[in-house]
A = this chain, B = another copy of it.
Amino acid sequence: MPQIAFGARVRKSPFFERTMAAGASHFTVYNHMYMPVSYGNPLAEYWRLVEGVSMWDVAVERQVEVAGTDAEKLTRYLTTRELKSLEPGQGRYVPICDHNGALINDPVLLPLDGNRFWFSIADSDMKHWAGGVALAGGYDVSVREPDVSPLAIQGPKARNLAEDLFGSWIGELKYFGFREAELQGIPLIVARSGWSKQGGYELYLRDSAKGGALWDIVAEAGQPYDIGPGAPNYIERLESGLVSVGADTDEIADPFEMGLGKFVHLDRQDGFAGKEALGEIAQRGRARRFTGLHIEGTPLDASSQHRWQLNLDGEPAGFISAAAFSPRARGGSGGNIGVGLVKTELAEPGQRLQCESESGMRDIIVAELPFDLSHSP
């Protein structure tokens, strides 16, 4: 298999040396930064996440900071949600759409104070989207990427570890809540968040010179919980039905299709990016639906490498954006699962479809998201 080319154009995470030392075996690039996605044993990494605690270099979750007099105004304009309160210390999931209503990012918004907001972004240059809107719209703000790099701890034992590291106030954080903290002089923001449904925290490192030190402290403190390195997990995210913008979305996918309609507030009094187009889409009804898919046949021996076209009796029905073998599916006997965009009229649970996979034609059964792992389709 081809190697990743390490060079000067793509940035290295502050945790890069530690992830290499820990045996990172596969990398991707996300927000112009190298990201380890495997340490050579995908199943062990999966079980560590769903039964214990895993530590992830997610420095690629870059922050776009919007600051200044018009920061709140621009922040509200960029998001489809009506944010009635913007309480500092409480994060919010905020889909971002372009002029056509297409979903272009789905950050977590961190209100630091009334004039300063971080968008913790998925893989697209929201700095340029926000910057272009700010420039042409005449907003009095600065838009920049600060020196902030999250390290995630995820899994059912993450809370114990976080309490050991920071104290009992960890228990007071609501979901997406965050607080400033320090670990042996390392400046952090600690948030109850992370790209899994197993629970956990993200330690937003605020000084990239201290990445190695932070990694070592967390690895050491995690010993009693048998912590180990991992990465946003391909299998678990499918089970949980987490949207991966860019993977699951195409150029026209809108938030209604992606199951994020509850975050689109068309009854807002103020305008927001994409409002008009989204209003039209809402009237028309969504053309497709993001849904779970059981994939019949022999276990997939690797995650899917590209989109698989879905069809019903030869007619196009949509596509599977990601697929893998879940050891917990079908009540623990295991099964192939996937997610994808399916024509609305064919997206009812139980609907049977076919797809052309990398290992030939397969039968498909539509399922609700998140997957009910306790029973067979």
Contact = CB atoms under 8 A, between A and B. Distances in A.
A271 B273 CA distance: 24
Nearest to A98: B131
Q: Which of A29, A32, A104, A273 has the most CB of B within 10 A?
A: A29
Contact of A124 (B28, B99, B125, B303): B125
A32 B1 contact: no
B123 A32 contact: yes
Nearest to A10: B28
Given A99-B135, A128-B132, A26 B5 contact: yes
Contact of A4 (B24, B28, B132): B28
B5 A37 contact: yes
Question: What is the copy number of this chain in the assembly?
Answer: 2
A25 B4 CA distance: 9
B133 A135 contact: yes
A377 interface: no
A126 B129 CA distance: 9
A137 interface: yes
Interface string A311-349: 000000000011000000000000000000000000000
* Count class of interface residues, chain A: 35 or more
A177 B8 CA distance: 31
A307 B8 contact: yes
B12 A306 contact: yes
A21 interface: no
A305 B128 contact: no
Nearest to A96: B128
Nearest to A234: B7
A132 B136 contact: yes
Interface in A102-153: 104, 123-126, 128-137, 143-145
Contacts of A234: 7
A4 B1 contact: yes
Count chain B CB atoms within 10 A of each CB in A7, A28, A246 and give the residue with the most. A7
A37 B5 CA distance: 7
Contacts of A24: 2
Contacts of A137: 136-137
B251 A8 contact: no
Interface of A: 1-10, 12, 20, 24-30, 32, 36-38, 98-99, 104, 123-126, 128-137, 143-145, 234, 244, 246-247, 251, 273, 303-307, 321-322
Given A9-B244, A128-B129, 13 more contacts: A1-B3, A2-B20, A3-B27, A8-B307, A8-B321, A8-B322, A9-B246, A12-B306, A98-B131, A126-B128, A132-B133, A132-B134, A132-B135
